[in-house]
Amino acid sequence: MQLEEIKKLFEEEKEKIQSLEDLEKLRQTFLGKKGLISQLFKELKNIDPALRKEFGQKINRLREEVENFIRQKREELQQQLLEEKLRSERVDITLPARIVPPLGSKHPISATIEEIVEIFKQMGFSVETGPEIEKEEYNFDKLNIPKEHPARDMQDTFYVNKPGYLLRTHTSPVQVRTMLKKQPPIQIIAPGRVYRRDDDPTHSPMFFQVEGLVVNENVNFANMMFVLREFLRRFFEAEVPVRFRPSYFPFTEPSAEVDIGCVICQGKGCRVCKGTGWLEVLGAGMVHPNVLQACGIDPDKYQGFAFGLGVDRFAMLKYGIDNIKLFYENDVRFLKQFSSL
């Protein structure tokens, strides 16, 4: 084919290009190894040497023309494709979002309190509450805690600006409040926040306790042991070994501290139970006659037992958490692990 014919053919063919595929075919037809322009170059050697240079220049010009066209057309077609894609994938920002916002879940301390309360409710207890800013009289005096007791020290207790008031150091003042407003039979628990000047991996300045109080005629220590053993069995969902150790609280006599066989090492001895195989989980005892008296209940007619447990400690044991601070830092990576509660 002659150069002029090839040129003419190119002019015709280039008008027909609709897509990148068409363009590629055009490239092969003219510029491919066996393409028309390559053929022309091969014919150069048969041309009269006097005309060869000029002919060569003509072919080069045609090749450049074809190359330029292909380059420009390719950009144009690619741009068109992009625009079409953008048009078809347009985001309608007026549509409601499809993303489900991350949902919060129950805090492990709340879940533990609910579980404890539910167990005691099933055992016939009702729930009482009291204020966190409490009268010193209810937190200490009426609980037979003498004025010189170290718990009253500023080192242990947070006092508030109002004289005679403090941030309650335990939930035991709810016992006082309950007995002051109601005569026996009493069978209550009192969950809530308490405050102490404490701060280490197992002690927090603010933590949670659940108080228990039973007052009636003929209430004895064995009743208390049964209730607490039964509660521990239900909470830990196992026959955990339980032992009662003699102890001292000003508001109970006799008093006991209750230990369970270490749930981490099953009593073999580990870091958590400090090698003893036992973990202290709550304090308990028979309500001191002075306390009954101070709250308007006849100690000759009635007896009672009381107990107080640290919710944080129970939650730590149940979920294998070794630092109480994790409960209060509100780190969602920690809290997310309890999303099934």
- For binding to ligand FA5 (CB under 6 A), which residues are involved? 170, 172, 196, 198, 203-204, 207, 209, 211, 249, 252, 280, 282-285, 306-310, 312-313, 324
Compute the distance between CA of residue 9 and CA of residue 30 in angstroms, rounded to an integer: 10
Tell the smallest beta-carbon distance from residue 285 to ligand FA5 (Å): 5
Tell the smallest beta-carbon distance from residue 228 to ligand FA5 (Å): 11
Q: How would you label 277-302 residue by residue, b for 16+ Cβ within 10 Å and e otherwise?
A: bbbbbbbbbbbbbebbebbebeeeeb
Tell the smallest beta-carbon distance from residue 91 to ligand FA5 (Å): 51
3-state SS assignment for residue 19: coil
Cβ distance to ligand FA5 smaller for residue 70 or 273? 273
Cβ distance to ligand FA5 smaller for residue 166 or 282? 282
Cβ distance to ligand FA5 smaller for residue 124 or 201? 201
Any idea what the Cα angle at residue 38 is, between residues 32 and 40, rounded to 5°?
Answer: 150
3-state SS assignment for residue 287: strand
Cβ distance to ligand FA5 smaller for residue 74 or 197? 197
State which residue has the least CB distance to ligand FA5. Answer: 310
Cβ distance to ligand FA5 smaller for residue 30 or 305? 305
Tell the smallest beta-carbon distance from residue 179 to ligand FA5 (Å): 13
CA 195 to chain centre: 24
Tell the smallest beta-carbon distance from residue 244 to ligand FA5 (Å): 12
Compute the distance between CA of residue 23 and CA of residue 41 in angstroms, rounded to an integer: 22
Residue with tokens 């937190």: 139
Asked if 195 and 205 count as a contact pair (C-beta separation under 8 A), the reply is yes
Compute the distance between CA of residue 331 and CA of residue 104 in angstroms, rounded to an integer: 12
Tell the smallest beta-carbon distance from residue 288 to ligand FA5 (Å): 9
Mention every residue, 6+ apart, whose C-beta is less than 8 A from residue 43: none
3-state SS assignment for residue 321: coil
Cβ distance to ligand FA5 smaller for residue 187 or 252? 252
